[in-house]
A and B are shown apart, each in its own frame.
Chain A
Amino acid sequence: MSLDIWMRENPLTYVWIGSYAVAMLVFVIEIAMVRHKRTLTLQQVRLIHQAEEE
């Protein structure tokens, strides 16, 4: 079945998966990246200060 026919038969699924699920995925990836960056930066800063103290 072509996409054109499928989207007209399942408009809500098309809207949900195509738009909202993708938007939510983008938000989740962004949050994960921000958290990962924070963890990495904290580790680097801790290492720098440990090295300076030694």
Chain B
Amino acid sequence: MAINWFKYSAPTTFYGLAGKLIPWFAIPAAILFAVGLYIGFAVAPMDAQQGEFYRIIFIHVPASMLSMFLYMVMAGYAALGLIFNTRLSSMMASAVAPTGALFAFISLWTGALWGKPMWGAWWVWDARMTSELILLFLYLGFIALHASIDDPRRADRASALLAIVGSVNVPIIYFSVKWWNTLHQGSTIKFSGTSMHIAMQQAMFTMLAACWLYAIAVTLARVRSIILERERHTKWIAELAEVRS
């Protein structure tokens, strides 16, 4: 039996589906966080050059990757909303933005914490770090622009343009360590493989999966509130059990 995926592009049907999906992402996220931290701190060996400080990698790399991926997801949803005028796409873009901004903040924060013992400085105007800071500003700009326009449909269109234009920054972040001479190390994980110890890889990929699941769960929870707010005058919202209770 074929599933009609377009059915779930309507806020009416997606609202219920999102509610059912949240525990399926949130619970595995919590388990994977615990497993990732255990492997990262109890199983993975100490690094020969960086000692214990390298263990920041298990939160820094997943947060950095998520901040970039989530921006592309946000820009993709914003573009869909702009081109096809689909309400849910714009709502999803608005729901992804705060989580992406928080991951960008965690990436910068943990990067500074790692930079101090390794480079002797909390911050340098390095290409990778500066472009990641611009990413955080783009997220904040998207959120602020959206919040500054009263009409939600106009806010969707204006912020979508910012998200799409800002997406040019994501490849700049990724390739910055190749294009310019930077203090920041090159990619740890490459398509050709990695030189990391197996336990370090396991910890990092477990934490990456946990961060992904967490981001999906929290985005779904946020989009339910956005749907509820924007569709508040509709009949189907009035008939919801949680509204009637």
| A residues apposed to B, CB below 8 Å | 4, 7-8, 11-12, 14-15, 18-20, 22-23, 26-27, 30-31, 34-35, 37-38, 41-42, 44-46, 48-49, 52
Contacts and interface: CB of A to CB of B under 8 A. Distances in A.
B117 A8 contact: yes
B113 A34 contact: no
A19 B243 contact: no
28 contacts: A4-B116, A11-B51, A14-B53, A15-B52, A15-B53, A15-B56, A18-B56, A19-B56, A19-B60, A19-B109, A20-B37, A20-B59, A22-B109, A23-B63, A23-B106, A26-B105, A30-B98, A30-B218, A34-B221, A34-B222, A34-B225, A38-B221, A38-B224, A41-B225, A42-B228, A42-B242, A45-B228, A49-B243
Nearest to B110: A19
A15 B116 CA distance: 11
Nearest to A27: B214
Main secondary structure of the interface of A (DSSP, over half): helix
Given A19-B110, A26-B106, A30-B102, A11 B229 contact: no
Contacts of A48: 232-233
A8 B53 CA distance: 9
Contacts of B114: 19
Contacts of B116: 4, 7
Contacts of B228: 38, 41-42, 45
A37 B238 CA distance: 18
Nearest to B242: A42
Contacts of A46: 243
Interface string B103-146: 00110011001101100000000000000000000000000000
B243 A23 contact: no
A46 B240 CA distance: 10
Contacts of B102: 26-27, 30
Contact of B218 (A4, A31, A41, A49): A31
Nearest to A52: B238
Interface in B224-245: 224-225, 228-229, 232-233, 237-238, 242-243
B232 A44 contact: yes
